[in-house]
Structure 1
Amino acid sequence: MSDPALRLRGISKTFGSVQALEHVDFAAWPGEIHAIVGDNGAGKSTMLKIVTGIHQADAGEISVNGRAVDLRHNATTVQDLGVAVVYQDLALVECLDIAQNLSLGSLPRRWGIVLDRQRMARDAAKVLSDLKVRVGDVHTPVGLLSGGQRQIIAIARAVRMDKPLILLDEPTAALGVQESARVGTIMEELRTAGKAVVCISHDLEFVFAHADRITVLRLGVSVGTRKTAETTRAEIVGLITGAFPADERPTPVQKDAA
């Protein structure tokens, strides 16, 4: 069996006197969509920021694509290990156009010096076409796009990076029904391509429609992981609210477990 694309063991983090995460366990495997759910303040975004090097964990272990990651790692380290991230704030540059935003982090150059703007435009048009996304001319400044269009551009940029692990923080938060469905289809296409997709979401309808497994965080603790096909919305809500008790050992179920 292959290594998990992402594994966390015993991850803990405090901010002053606040225990943001406590002994969190998690694993996501190639070829699956794994959703992370929980109330506001449950620790979901903190967990993602620890994985991506924005925050450093106080204790625990992280591995990405089978390689151990130093807890003092940074965003560049994680990208080199094969991780693409879409943050909730999208991290787009509004004064740049769509093509330029899609190329951030890997700007094509001619002769190693001059920005190849024609190639940027071609690459942008291709990735948007492949994703069946319509957001206007690739030379349109991102600042002129709607919130939903910006969300799609941020996701398209992550897809363009072609990494084996994609992390999405609330990818449908600003989207309508049709745009949300398109994001779900993109995630399923990434899964079919063998990539691991980790999705933080408050939208349980979206989660049950697209995720293979669901991990619940409550008050900074991983209280359970369920296969979507073997659980119910009532059980997940119960784990989120505390109406259902946490698993005694909420270690991640292996992808190929029965």
Structure 2
Amino acid sequence: MTAQHPASGAPATATRPILALRAISKNFGAVAALTEVDLDVAAGEVVAVVGDNGAGKSTLVKVLAGVHRADSGSIAFDEREVTITSPADAHDLGIATVFQDLALCENLNVIQNLFLGRELRPGRLDEVTMEIRSWELLRQLSAKIPTVRVPVASLSGGQRQTVAIARSLLGDPKVIVLDEPTAALGVAQTAEVLNLIERLRERGLGVIMISHNMEDVRAVADRVVVLRLGRNNGVFDAATASSEEIVAAMIGASDNVVSRRRNRRERPGDE
């Protein structure tokens, strides 16, 4: 089944999804954060999830990361229904999440951050192997980091984002969720991160990119999924949809257009 935007009728991808969410709902007391949300991402595809404040983006990220458990709905991974009740469940499935705060230790160097909690210890700390693997991973991502022994505190925002993403890849995930990866970055640093997202797609990962920046979304996304007030409100082909169409779905303007069209059709004597 393909999702369509209520006004444009733009179809969702027909590629078999590696991750498929169906009718995901999450309530916090009387507040419905997510209501029957659907989301697909295929291998080698970048899906941008956009929406205004309160749209449910952060809750969706935390459901995928295992921080929150969905109240209802189903999640399929590699065409097998699964349950995500903890971050460990998400990790074991192959879902990695890079949160907006990055969770890096600024006093540690790049190698130490990459292997934090997963140090190689065949009897003693294997610093040589960890450094080699760090360089290999960063080169695969075309990362612009001059040395892996520099403290993270001395890196730019784009370089820190690169370290956080590289760290998530050590577990060989199949899907990576990026929460506002270009927020508060300058032009050059944003371009660096967008290039990194392209590398992730080339590696065959499914990428879910949470963003509010339409320029960044249109630069790298294959599809754009709009959330509004915790519900799906459109799926767009990023290559053909205009920013105006996507923003209209985000703020609900397209809903008004559809309603007016329906009302005109239902008036007696109207064509």
**Which TM-score tier does this pair reach, normalised by the shorter chain?**
0.7 to 0.9
Secondary structure of the 1:91 match is coil
Q: CA deviation at 1:2?
A: 7.0
Residue 206 of structure 1, aligned match among 191, 199, 216: 216
Aligned amino acid, residue 100 of structure 2? Q
Q: CA deviation at 1:166?
A: 1.0
Q: Determine whether 1:183 maps to 2:193.
A: yes
Q: Determine whether 1:147 maps to 2:196.
A: no
Tell me how far apart the structure 2 counterparts of residues 83 and 201 of structure 1 sit (CA, whole Å): 18
Partner of 2:24: 11
Partner of 1:87: 99
Conserved 8 A contact 1:3-1:65: no
Tell me how far apart the structure 1 counterparts of residues 145 and 110 of structure 2 sit (CA, whole Å): 9
Aligned amino acid, residue 171 of structure 1? P
After superposing the two structures, state which structure 1 stretch, 232-241 or 82-91, moved more. 82-91
Partner of 1:241: 251
Residue 226 of structure 1, aligned match among 236, 249, 258: 236
Aligned amino acid, residue 217 of structure 1? L
Partner of 1:253: none
Aligned length: 245
Change (3 A) 1:169 1:15: same
Tell me how far apart the structure 1 counterparts of residues 16 and 119 of structure 2 sit (CA, whole Å): 31
Residue 171 of structure 1, aligned match among 165, 181, 197: 181
Conserved 8 A contact 1:212-1:228: yes
Q: CA deviation at 1:75?
A: 0.8
Residue 139 of structure 2, aligned match among 118, 123, 129: 129
- Residues 40-92 of structure 1, C-alpha deviation per residue, up to 9 Å, x if partnerless? 11111110100111011111111223232225x21111111111211111122
TM-score by length of 1: 0.87
- Residues 113-133 of structure 1, C-alpha deviation per residue, up to 9 Å, x if partnerless? 422112112221222233232
After superposing the two structures, state which structure 1 stretch, 196-205 or 175-184, moved more. 175-184
Q: CA RMSD in A?
A: 2.1
Residue 74 of structure 1, aligned match among 55, 61, 86: 86
Tell me how far apart the structure 2 counterparts of residues 181 and 159 of structure 1 sit (CA, whole Å): 20
Conserved 8 A contact 1:43-1:218: yes
Tell me how far apart the structure 2 counterparts of residues 24 and 55 of structure 1 sit (CA, whole Å): 15
Conserved 8 A contact 1:37-1:215: yes
Tell me how far apart the structure 2 counterparts of residues 208 and 29 of structure 1 sit (CA, whole Å): 18
Q: CA deviation at 1:105?
A: 5.0
TM-score by length of 2: 0.83
Conserved 8 A contact 1:148-1:174: no
- Give the unaligned 5+ runs of structure 2: 1-13, 259-271
Q: CA deviation at 1:182?
A: 2.1
Partner of 1:252: none
Partner of 2:167: 157
Tell me how far apart the structure 2 counterparts of residues 99 and 222 of structure 1 sit (CA, whole Å): 40
- Give the unaligned 5+ runs of structure 1: 249-258
Change (3 A) 1:101 1:208: same
Aligned amino acid, residue 190 of structure 1? L
Conserved 8 A contact 2:114-2:134: yes
Residue 63 of structure 2, aligned match among 40, 45, 50: 50
Partner of 2:203: 193
Secondary structure of the 1:21 match is strand
Tell me how far apart the structure 2 counterparts of residues 142 and 70 of structure 1 sit (CA, whole Å): 35
**Who wins on radius of gyration, i.e. which is larger?**
2
